[in-house]
Structure 1
C-alpha cells in the first residue's frame, strides 16, 4: 500500500463510498486537506470567484467598494480607555451642574437670570458636546487621534466652579 500513513490511521476499508464532508454556504476550506472538502457555492458569486486560485475569474471580478468592508471594531484597550474617558466626561457634566448651581446665589446681582441660565446650560452640555464631536470627527482616524482629542477635552473642560468651591456654597 502506498498511501499516506496519516490517512491510513483515520480510514476503514470501504470508506470510499462515504460522502465527502461539506461546508455550509459561503464557507471555504483552507489549509492541508482542504481539497477533500466540498463547499456549496456562496450567494456572492463574484466574491467566490475572487477567492479561487484561478487568476482569470479574479481579474474579471468587480472591485469591492470601501463601504462594503466590514467594521473591525475597537480593541479592548481602546474600549477601556473610552469607558474611562466617558466616565470622566459624565463626572464633568455633573460637576458643571453642581458648581454652576452653587454659584447662582452670588451671581444673580451681576448677571441677569436669562444670561446665567443660558451659560449654565452651555457649561453643562459642553462635556457631552465635546465627547460627541470628538467621536464623530475622528471616526475615520486612528485610535490614538481619537483618544488624544478626548483627552484634550478632559484637560480643557475641568469644572472649575466645582473644583474651587468643592461643591459647597461659599
Structure 2
C-alpha cells in the first residue's frame, strides 16, 4: 500500500475506515477524502455523547452580556505620555527636594523634612493610581481629565525654580 506522506502525518497508527469521524446532519465534507465521511454516523455519536463537566459548568454559570472594553490606541498613547510625565515629576521632586535640604533643615527638623520629601516624591504615583481606580467606571475623557489635572497640580516647583541646577 502506498500512501501520501502528508496523509500519514495526519493519522494515528491503527486508524481504519470504521474509526474515521463523520459529520452531523447538514454538514458537508470538503476536500480530499470527504467521500468517505458518513454524516449520519457522526450525528448519532454527537447525540449519544454525555455532556462533559465543562459543558455542565458553563450551562449553570450566568451569562455575562457585557464584555470588558479595551482602551483605544489614542487613550493608550495618552496614558503612556502622562505616565511618563508623572515619572519625570517623581524624579523632579526627589532632585529638587534633596537640593533644598540644606536650607530647609535650618527651619524645620530633619524628621519632618524627610517625611514631607517622601510624600512629595510619592505624590505623582499616588495621584496616577487614585485617578485610575476612582474613574474606572467613567468615560475615557473623565479619566484623562483627572490625569491632566494631576499634571498641572503636581509640578515639582523646587526643581523648576532652580532650573535643574544646583542652588
Equivalences for residues 82-121 of structure 1 within 5 A = 82-121=79-118
Aligned to 2:12: none
Aligned to 2:28: 20
Q: Which ranges of structure 2 fall in alignment gaps of 5 or more residues? A: 1-26, 31-45
RMSD: 2.8
2:162 pairs with one of 154, 162, 165:
165
Q: TM-score, normalised by structure 2?
A: 0.64
2:131 pairs with one of 125, 129, 134:
134
Tell me how far 1:149 sits from its aligned partner.
Answer: 0.1
Q: Which runs of 4+ in 1 moved over 2 A?
A: 40-47
Aligned to 1:78: 75
Alignment partner of 1:155 is 2:130: no
Q: Which has the larger radius of gyration?
A: 2
Equivalences for residues 36-51 of structure 1 within 5 A = 43=55, 44=58
Q: TM-score, normalised by structure 1?
A: 0.63
